[in-house]
Structure 1
Amino acid sequence: MPFARFTIAATDITPEVQAALASGVTALLEKDLLKEPEVTVVHVNLVPADRWFVAASRIEQVTGAHLEVSITAGTNTAQEKAAFIEDAYELLAEQLGALPAAAYVALYELDGESYGYNGVTQLARRRMDPAEKD
Structure 2
Amino acid sequence: MPFVHIRTAGVELSSAQVETLQSEATRLMESVMRKKAGLTAVLVETHDTARWSIGGKAVPLAAHLDVKVTAGTNSANEKAEFVRQAHRLLKSAFGLALPLATYVVVDEVSADAWGYGGLTQDARRQGAA
| TM-score normalised over the length of structure 2 | 0.94
Aligned to 1:71: 69
Q: CA RMSD in A?
A: 1.3
Residue 122 of structure 1: aligned partner: 121
Distance in 1 of aligned mates of 2:124 and 2:11: 38
CA positional deviation for 1:5: 0.5
Q: Unpaired segments of 5 or more residues in structure 1? A: none
Mark the runs of 5 or more structure 2 residues left unpaired by the alignment.
none
CA distance in 1, matches of 2:58, 2:50: 6
- Equivalent residue letter for 2:81: A
Alpha-carbon distance between aligned partners in 2 of 1:54 and 1:36, rounded to the nearest angstrom: 34
Match of 1:95 in 2: 93
Shift of 1:126: 1.3
- 1:16 corresponds to 2:33: no
Q: CA deviation at 1:127?
A: 2.2
Give the distance between the partners of 1:34 and 1:20, measured in 2 at CA: 20
Count the aligned residue pairs.
128
How far the C-alpha of 1:11 sits from its partner, in A, is: 5.2
Structure 1: how far apart are the matches of 2:91 and 2:14? Answer: 15
SS at match of 2:32: helix
Q: Deviations over 1:15-73 (max 9, x none)?
A: 1111111100100001110000000000011001122111111113xx20011100000
Supply the distance in 2 between the matched residues of 1:49 and 1:97 (Cα, whole angstroms): 16
SS in 2 for 1:30: helix
Q: Which amino acid aligns with 1:38?
A: G
Runs of 4+ in 1 over 3 A off after TM superposition: none
Larger CA deviation: 69-78 vs 4-13: 4-13
What is the letter of the counterpart of residue 77 of structure 1?
S
Give aligned-pair identity as a percent: 37
Q: How does 1:30-49 map to 2 (within 5 A)?
A: 30-49=30-49
2:56 is matched with 56
Amino acid at match of 2:105: A
